[in-house]
Amino acid sequence: MKTISKQKNILLFSFLLIPILLLLVFVLYPLIELVRLSFTDWNGVEAQQVYIGFDNYIKMFTDSSDVWLSLRNNGIYFIFHSIMIPLELMIAVLLDSKIRASKFFKTIVFMPYIINGVAISYIFAFFYSPINGGLNGILEVLGLESLIQNWLTNDSIVNISLVFVSIWRFSGFHVILFLAGLQSIPQDQFEAAEIDGANSIQNFWYIIVPGVKKVLEVILFLNVVGALQVFDIPYIMTQGGPGHASSTFILYTLETAFKFNSFGMASAMGITMLILILILNGVQNRLFNLKGVGEE
């Protein structure tokens, strides 16, 4: 018996060894290094790394208005995506009902998510172009010439233009997640509600919304992470411009590291982003009375 038990322990250890090593090498060690570098003035080139305490963190929020501008832009992504969540749920409910060609519409809704982000950015850069661009062309055909403008160079609307691209790309994925949640709701609940005379609004509020609560939790978490990590769309379409009007926190972090050669500051910004995600996710779960991801 001892031999069998020993073999089981050896087998278990063998299976766990590689994942644990990968976790230590590619997750834990880089995180520790990131924290260490955030307290130095390392420029990313020279070997010298001078310890400067919390100077990077203090300087980040006191000496650079672009950091706050970038965080404000991240907030715009978060707010607009949050506003879209009820609409995404209603679209999922509609697609889950017995309508004609529902599979076709599900495919159409999910299609933007599987398209490469670079391709989407170039498509919408042409769509917003002031020279032969699709959007201005549509407005001209509709007789709305007064609304024609430079959608990506006007700093008052450039973020709204970019947020629309982000919503177009990710809303379909959220709809599919809601569809998965809807299909997990037992049908006998709807049958019982029908016998009790419940209408569509009551079904939606008392059966569907509680039924997709866990999916809503995941989508809210993805919303926080996605809003703080948005990068490819503003980088490709505007390079964060005009000026820094459309820059996001991660885009400004990369500029700090590779354009201004301030890896210590960029490390501090990376740690700050991680802390922001943890705080916002905790606050979000508290507000919506939801448990953390992965909890029972």
Tens-place pLDDT, residues 23-57:
999 999 999 999 999 999 888 888 888 898 889 99
Whether residue 295 lies inside any domain: the answer is no
Q: Is residue 296 part of a domain?
A: no
Cα dihedral 178, 183, 187, 189 in deg (nearest 10): -30
- Give the C-alpha separation, 125 to 222, whole Å: 25
The CATH number of the domain where 143 resides is what? 1.10.3720.10
Which residues constitute the domain of residue 156?
57-288
pLDDT at 294 over 80: no
pLDDT mean over 114-118:
87
- 213-229 and 263-287 helices, crossing angle to 10°: 160
Q: Which residue has the higher pLDDT, 3 or 160?
A: 160
Let me know if 66 is exposed, middle or buried by CB neighbors in 10 A (0-12, 13-18, 19+).
Answer: middle
Phi, psi (rounded to 5 degrees) for 40: -125, 170
Coil/strand/helix, residue 40 = strand
- Residue 106: predicted pLDDT: 83
Residue 224: its pLDDT value, please?
A: 85
Look up the pTM and report it. Answer: 0.83
Burial class (CB in 10 A: 0-12, 13-18, 19+), 267: buried
Please report whether residue 3 resides in a domain. no
Cβ burial of 111 (10 Å; 0-12, 13-18, 19+) is: exposed
> Residues with Cβ < 8 Å from 78, sequence gap 6 or more?
223, 224, 227, 228
Within-domain flag for 13: no
Contact between 261 and 44 (Cβ < 8 Å): yes
Which of these, 203, 199, 251, 196, lies nearest to 228 by C-alpha position? 251
User: Is the per-residue pLDDT at 1 higher than 70?
Assistant: no
22, pLDDT greater than 80: yes
Residue 35: per-residue pLDDT: 93
Structural domain includes residue 6: no
- Checking if the pLDDT of 131 tops 90, the result is no
Does residue 189 sit within a domain? yes
Does residue 166 form part of some domain?
Answer: yes
Say if 266 falls within a structural domain: yes
Residue 295 has pLDDT above 60, yes or no: no
Distance CA 61, CA 261 (A): 19
Domain count, the chain: 1
